[in-house]
Amino acid sequence: MMKRSIRTDNKGQVIVITALLIGLLMFSTFVYVTEVINQAPAVETNQNELFPQYQQNLKNTLISALANITSDNNTQVLTQDLERLNQIFSSHFYGSLLQINYTLANTAPYQDGLWISSGQENHTAVGAQVSYQLFSVGKSETSNVVGNVTIASEVYLSGNSSQIDQATKQGNLTLQIFNEGMPALASNFSCYYQDGAQWVRIENFSFTDFGTGTYEMVFSAQLSQPSDPLTVAIYVLDQRGINMRVQAACQSS
């Protein structure tokens, strides 16, 4: 009769039992964690906070789009930026269903959401207008919010000129800047006067900033034809980064 090694058999049983215990422990842990996750309350986005945030970000988006459009003349950037904004908000809206719709204004002076009137004498306007609808369905409430946002930068230029000598004229200019109809400040200016077919940059001029969006400039211009009227053009960069060009013929005094 052969002797059996009890030690060898017991070792195998211990390994199997240990493995079963570890498996049961892991399964119990998994079930517990799963139940905790399922029972955890969902964090729902506060709709009262969402809508003002969306409107403010929509304003910033329109300003950024206008700054880009007035720099490189790519009007498609407006719809691209709006789509990107809506994707960001939709992806960060938790606990509810959010639907965002926007419409570009097509009522004069806006076309496809934009107002760009750079060809008018004494006045230039650059603006964007968008209406929106935010519809959300949450666990505790349903909201439907509509509104519109308008961003508009405008600049007005007027001036007069006087003859200093046979070839030189003095120009006196008044420039006014507005954002959404309120006085606004500029970040930079570039000033030119027309001499025949050429535009000459005005390097030296006296400048008064009244701090209210109104600026006065005095300069001298030498014209090839002294009888020609003095026409000026100013490139303005407002403090929001929007570029505008305004042109005016100075009245002789």
> Distance (Å, rounded) from C-alpha 174 to C-alpha 104?
34
Distance of CA 103 to the CA centre of its chain: 16
CATH number of 155-252: 2.60.40.1930
CA distance 246 to 26: 74
Please tell me whether the overall predicted TM-score, pTM, comes out greater than 0.85 for this model: no
Structure tokens at 124: 């230039």
In the chain, domain spans? 47-151, 155-252
214-222 and 231-238 as β-strands: parallel, antiparallel, unpaired? unpaired
* Partners of 135 in the β-ladder: 99, 144
User: Does the structure show a pLDDT above 60 at 3?
Assistant: no
What's the confidence (pLDDT) of residue 14? 39
Tell whether the model's pLDDT for residue 9 goes beyond 50. Answer: no
Q: Rounded distance, CA 44 to CA 42, Å?
A: 6
Percent of the chain with pLDDT over 70: 79
| Predicted local distance difference test score (pLDDT) of residue 67 | 97
Instruction: Please report the pLDDT score of residue 16 as a whole number.
Output: 37
Nearest CA-CA partner of 241 in 176, 181, 184, 183: 184
pLDDT interval class at 70 (50, 70, 90) = very high
| pLDDT reported for residue 15 | 40
Amino acid identity, position 183 = P
Confidence (pLDDT) at 31:
33
- In tens, the pLDDT along 43-64 reads 344 556 678 888 999 999 999 9
Query: Is 98 within 8 Å of 145 (Cβ atoms)?
Result: no
- pLDDT exceeds 70 at position 21: no
**Pairing of β 142-163 and β 251-252:** parallel
* Confidence at residue 250, expressed as pLDDT on a 0 to 100 scale: 95
Q: Which of 49-63, 88-102, 138-152, 211-225 has the lowest mean pLDDT?
A: 88-102
pLDDT band at 6 (very low <50, low <70, confident <90, very high): very low
Contact 61, 85 (CB under 8 A): yes
Question: What integer is the mean pLDDT of 145-168?
Answer: 94
Mean local confidence (pLDDT), 66-77: 95
Mutual angle of helices 77-91 and 47-72, in 10-degree steps: 160
If you average pLDDT over every residue of the chain, what do you get? 82
3-class secondary-structure state, position 140? coil
Nearest-CA neighbor of 216 among 161, 157, 164? Answer: 157
Tokens standing for 221? Answer: 């211009």
